[in-house]
Amino acid sequence: MSPLLSFFTSIDPRPKTGVPLKVQLSEIDREMRVPVVLFVTSAILWLQVGTIFAMIASIKLHNPEFLQGFEWLTFGRARSAHLNAMAFGWGNNAIFAVALWIMARLSKVSVKHGGILVVAGAFWNIGVTAGIVGILTGGLTSVEWLEMPPQVAPLLGISYVLVAVWGVIMFRFRAMGHVYVSQWYILGALFWFPWLYIIAQTLILWVPARGTVQAITNWWFGHNVLGLWLTPMGLGAIYYFLPKVLGRPIHSYYLSVLGFWSLALFYNWAGVHHLIGGPIPVWLVSAGIVGSIMMVIPVVVTAINHHMTAAGNWRAVWCSPTLRFIVFGGMSYTLASLAGSAMALRDVNVITHFTQFTIGHAHHGVYAFFTMTMFGGIYFMMPRILNREWPSAALIRTHFWCAAIGITIMMVALHVGGWIQGEMMIALDADGNPKYAFLEIVAMLVPWLFSRSVSGMLLAIGHLAFLVNFFWMLAGRRSAKSQEGPTLLLKENEEEVR
Amino acid sequence: MKNLPLLFTGIFFCLAFSFSGLILSSLIQYGHLEPVTEFVNHPDSGEQIPGAFVEIGGHWVEGVNQPDEQTFPIPSVGLAQQGKQIYIEMGCLYCHSQQVRRKGFGADFERGWGERQTVPRDYILQERVLLGTSRTGPDLMSIGMRQPSAEWHNLHLFNPQITSPGSIMPPFRFLYRTQKIGDTPSPDALKIPDEFPDDQPPPGYEIVPTDRGKALVAYMLSLKLNYELPESRFSQ
């Protein structure tokens, strides 16, 4: 047998026939252990890094003299380091762990040569680190969502392919039979992300397109990082964990089909609404608005599907750490997406565009939906991967409440503050002159920006609780708890829940 | 849904649809815009008629750019071009936009940010387009006309509170350096008002912009919207 052929035979991940399902799943969990632990550990560390940069950027906005002597921490760089640490450090590592694990479990295949995954993951983290150091030291590109110096792109690209290809291999060798909705989302996203990334890199940084074609490419890419990468991965996770923990099937197969295809079709047109009123052909703006409004369909359909699945089980939702986060995420997805559709209307956009409202909206989607969902996924996954329980329910509770209250305060501060900012920006007096001087608007905004820093402190405490709990779990010996049962947030009704 | 090729085809075409609709079609539609001249030479008399497209004898005649004619937009060169690099690497874009919306949509016109809306042709000579999506600070498309003095920009970058009390812009003091006054004070030394004692240099010293500071100010001064395009006239 040629070496090439023997390699392909050796990666055939199909399980041996005749093995009971439970054994298969625990075999899959065992083989995923090393890569998943690597990804989750890096994700959680990046989460802390991103939080630190977030706090620096946030404080600088109401207190501009803060750390002003450090050129590498000037606002534009600190906020870009925050965004990239969160999106590509925390977000992608969390996705690599959670999505690949879901894919492996649903396809009922195990990972052979998991070492390649580990190497790819290591290079991904080296790439993100180099990118963030680049941002801080003057390599910032000032292209939104593509801030890292273009030199790190090949490294990220190669590591991404090495990771993503496993998702496709798993799907290719899946156990025959029904393909679950989470698998479509994950497969779609694994394919969409590199396409978006390569086109954006090429048309903006390597061979810059002429004029504002760059801006269109930028928002096609930037919005689709949310729409076709973070969102499908988050939704795939919700579709997996919600029925799994509740022990009942998803409400409607047909609604999940409709939700998936309408999302795939409409979301990728929506990004242009970031350029409403801007120097691009008006028909493109209109197309973007149509795409944004049509997003109501997948959002409502998915919301109904999730709600009907969870309905009547609210006590279980409240007891399970996974579901508390996941349901918070799912509800935020509905709210954030509907708000996003509304923001694409010209009458709303003229107020919200260019204000803190947009920044609030971005955090609504990326934090309240995506990040909360990934927290939930990690809370479910790690006990199965490590064969240990989470050491402290109190820390999980702290994490949940800090995150939930923190992000709620941030939403109120940025949405309300941003809306007032937008109204003041366009308000005209009877003579047709601006009613408020620019610096009056800035002064109005400062208390809202200050409340955002307060909310950031809460989130930081939550993230710290998560970090402590995770490393405690990782370091702890096999605890007695794994025999007693899972760590739940309400002890007394344990039987009822299971 | 079990059919892998069908699933994959769907996944492919969904993104291909928006890729061709948004990216490829805008490349085709206006990916080759050229600068324009303000004049069309009359085919018979050779007389110059203002406008990039002029109707002569029932036909639309397009102006042909001559080597010695001024074409628009005006490219930014030299020091200003270096300053743009500083603007990019400091991330100024995250608070400042560079686009003017049409009159009646928002209050860009009323705030004095530009006499006309900006159109795709305004950006064709820029290697990196910095439209921006946030106005935590004002729009800068025409800042070189609103604040034409380098002194103002230097004070503003050194400490925004000097020129704009209550601003939340960070100070960029690292673009300036304190040096001993030579035989004669430097012409570009900052004249910091007495109300800012903490910012004063020690006696016998002066604060001057570094090369990067000079470049950034040159870029600010080069941002002007003082020309018309056939598709966007003043007061539109």
Encode chain B in three state secondary structure.
CCCHHHHHHHHHHHHHHHHHHHHHHHHHHHCCCCCEECEEECCCCCCEEECCEEEECCEEEECCCCCCCCEECCCCCHHHHHHHHHHHHHCHHHCCCCCCCCCCCCCCCCCCCCCCCCCHHHHCCCCCCCCCCECCCCCCCCHHHHCCCHHHHHHHHHCHHHHCCCCCCCCCHHHEEEEECCCCCCCCCCCCCCCCHHHCCCCCEEEEECHHHHHHHHHHHHCCCCCCECCECCCC
Residues 6+ apart with CB under 8 A from A385: A29, A32, A33, A36, A37, A101
CATH of the domain at A78: 1.20.120
- What's residue B65's pLDDT? 65
pLDDT tens digits, A10-65: 666 666 666 788 888 888 888 889 999 999 999 999 999 999 999 999 999 999 99
Q: pLDDT averaged over chain A?
A: 92
State the pLDDT at residue A481: 58
Higher-scoring residue by pLDDT: B50, A418: A418
Per-residue confidence (pLDDT) for residue A106, from 0 to 100 = 92
- pLDDT value at residue B233: 81
- pLDDT higher than 50, residue A495: no
Q: Does A142 touch chain B (CB under 8 A)?
A: yes
Q: Which of B11, B22, B88 sits opposite A272 (nearest CB)?
A: B22
Residue A8 clears pLDDT 80, i.e. is over it: no
pLDDT recorded at residue A276: 95
The band of A468, judged by pLDDT with boundaries at 50, 70 and 90, is very high
Least confident of A168-172, A219-223, A234-238: A168-172
Whether residue A377 lies inside any domain: the answer is: no
The yes-or-no verdict on residue A309 having pLDDT over 60 is: yes
Flag whether A173 is in a domain.
yes
Domain count, chain B: 1
Give dist(CA A145, CA B186) in Å, integer: 42
Q: Say which of A188, A211, A220 has its CB closest to residue B33.
A: A211
Q: Domains in chain A: how many in total?
A: 1
- More confident of the two residues B49 and A445: A445
Q: Which residues in A lie closer than 8 A to residue B118 (C-beta atoms)? A: 279
A155 lies in some domain: yes
Task: Choose among A68, A287, A443: nearest Cβ to B173.
Answer: A68
Choose from A210, A239, A448 for mutation: most chain B CBs within 10 A.
Answer: A210
> Comparing A2 with A409, which gets the higher pLDDT?
A409
Name chain A contacts of B159, Cβ cutoff 8 Å: none
First-last CA distance in chain A: 50
- Say if B86 falls within a structural domain: yes
Q: Does B94 touch chain A (CB under 8 A)?
A: yes
Angle at A351 between CA A429 and CA A211, to 5 degrees: 110
Instruction: Show residues of chain B in contact with A211, CB under 8 Å.
Output: 30, 33, 120-124, 126, 129
Q: Which residue has the higher pLDDT, A166 or A399?
A: A399
Residue B25 lies in a domain: no
How many CB pairs (< 8 A) connect A and B?
A: 217
Strands B71-72 and B59-62: unpaired
Q: Is residue A226 part of a domain?
A: no
Q: CB-based contacts of A52: which residues, under 8 Å, 6+ apart?
A: none
Q: Flag if B33 and A432 touch (Cβ within 8 Å).
A: no
Residue B40 lies in a domain: no
Contact, A174 vs A187, CB < 8 A?
no
**Residue B176 domain flag:** yes
CB B216 within 8 A of CB B83: yes
Confidence band of A492 (pLDDT split at 50, 70, 90): very low
Please provide the DSSP assignment of A5-49 as one string.
Answer: HHHHHHT--PPPTT--HHHHHHHHHHHHHHHHHHHHHHHHHHHHH
- Whether residue B127 and residue A261 make contact (CB cut-off 8 A), yes or no, is no
Whether A99 shows a pLDDT value over 80: the answer reads yes
| Chain A, nearest residue to B131 by Cα | A215
Nearest CB to A432; choose among B2, B110, B124: B110
Residues of A in contact with B94 (CB under 8 A): 75-76, 79-80, 142
CB contact under 8 A, B33 and A442: no
**pLDDT mean over A92-111:** 92
Closest approach of chain B CAs to the CA of A139, in angstroms?
Answer: 6
Residue A498 has pLDDT above 60, yes or no: no
Domain annotation covers residue B43:
no
Instruction: Tell me if chain A has a CB within 8 Å of the CB of B218.
Output: no
- Domain range for B89 is 49-222
- Here the contacts of B160-164 (C-beta below 8 Å, separation 24 or greater) are B160/A64, B161/B196, B162/B192, B162/B193, B162/B196, B162/B199, B164/A439
Residue A34 belongs to what domain range?
18-177
Tokens 């799912």 map to which residue?
A330
Q: Half-sphere exposure of A250 toward its Cβ, with a 13 Å CA cutoff?
A: 23
Cα separation, A17 vs A81, in Å, equals: 49
| Assigned domain for A369 exists | no
The pLDDT, as a whole number, for residue A10 is: 63
The CA distance from B212 to B176, in Å, is 9
What is the C-alpha separation between A270 and B184, in angstroms, rounded? 59
- Domain membership of residue A150 (yes or no) is yes
- Assign A496 a pLDDT band (cuts: 50, 70, 90): very low
The CA distance from B27 to the nearest CA of chain A, in Å, is 6
**Model confidence at A497, in pLDDT bands (50, 70, 90)?**
very low
Q: How far away is chain A from the Cα of B84, in angstroms, using its nearest Cα?
A: 11
pLDDT at A4 over 70: no
Taking residues A97-118, report their average pLDDT: 89
Residue A256 pLDDT greater than 60, yes or no = yes
Report if residue B24 sits inside a domain: no
Residue A389: strand, helix, or coil: coil
Query: Which percentage of chain A shows pLDDT scores above 70?
Result: 93
Distance between CA atoms of B35 and B46, rounded to whole angstroms? 21
Whether A198 has its CB under 8 Å from any CB of chain B: the answer is: no
For residue A153, is it within any domain? yes
Q: Give a yes or no: residue B190 inside a domain.
A: yes
Contact, A470 vs A44, CB < 8 A? yes
| Token representation of residue A420 | 């007032």
For B165, nearest residue in chain A (alpha carbons): A439
Whichever domain contains B140, its CATH number is: 1.10.760.10
pLDDT at residue A109 in the model: 86
CB of B163 within 8 Å of any CB in chain A?
A: no
Q: Does some domain include residue B27?
A: no
Instruction: Tell me the pLDDT of chain B (236 aa) as tens digits.
Output: 567 788 889 999 999 999 999 999 999 999 999 888 767 777 777 777 766 666 777 777 766 666 667 788 888 889 999 999 999 999 999 999 999 999 999 999 999 999 999 999 999 999 999 999 999 999 999 999 999 999 999 999 999 999 999 999 999 999 999 999 988 899 999 999 999 999 999 999 999 999 999 999 999 999 999 888 878 888 65
